[in-house]
Amino acid sequence: MLDNLTTEIRSFYSLQDLSDSVKEQINQYKTLAEEYSQWLGSFIRDLESTYGKEEWFKNMQALQRLPKKPARKEEKKKGGKEKTALTEWVLLKGIMLSASEQGEVEILFDAIEEINKKVEQLSRVGEAVEDLERLALGKEIIYVTYVHDGVPEKIVLRHKKDGETLEKFKFATDFSVLKEI
């Protein structure tokens, strides 16, 4: 499954390694989105017999047909200006809780939406890496990459020193001693 690390610095020793990593992440996210979509579809089919005529269920079915659009969590009351949440949520020390089937449908929509955003971001990174490959920067470059929420956001280009890989740590110190008279 996907790593839980949200922010990291990774070094890639070739653009091919970076490109392969991005493609692997895209495939993982697409697989996860497909799993969640199947779960959501199955869950909605199961709920149809019980809640098929209720307004919240009809709204959720409509949203399922439009997976690229953001899931609406609020709807206007008929004839009124107030907005009401589709699902009852309770805040408990920074975590939202729901005990309803509507809540489960909502979090599935939210997860699929976020995963699709990640796939789009990673696809743009993949295109940028392809552009870098066309520049032919050479084989003596290390790509030190800042990865935030699973998406490379910044890359520092470093030259390898004397054909060796970059040293991870270097410790140097000087001592000074006072001479007493």
Q: Note the pLDDT of residue 168.
A: 43
54-58, 73-77, 92-96: least confident range: 73-77
β partners of residue 83: 76
At residue 80, the pLDDT reads: 42
Point out the least confidently predicted range of 51-55, 104-108, 148-152.
51-55
pLDDT at 94 over 60: yes
Per-residue pLDDT, averaged over 145-174, amounts to 72
**What mean pLDDT is predicted for residues 75-97?**
63
| Count of beta carbons in the 10 Å neighbourhood of residue 132 | 17
- By CB atoms closer than 10 A (0-12, 13-18, 19+), residue 105 is buried
Burial class (CB in 10 A: 0-12, 13-18, 19+), 32: middle
The residue written with tokens 């107030």 in the block is: 82
Higher-pLDDT residue of 67, 145: 145
- pLDDT per residue as tens digits for the range 99-137: 887 888 889 999 999 999 999 999 999 999 999 888 887
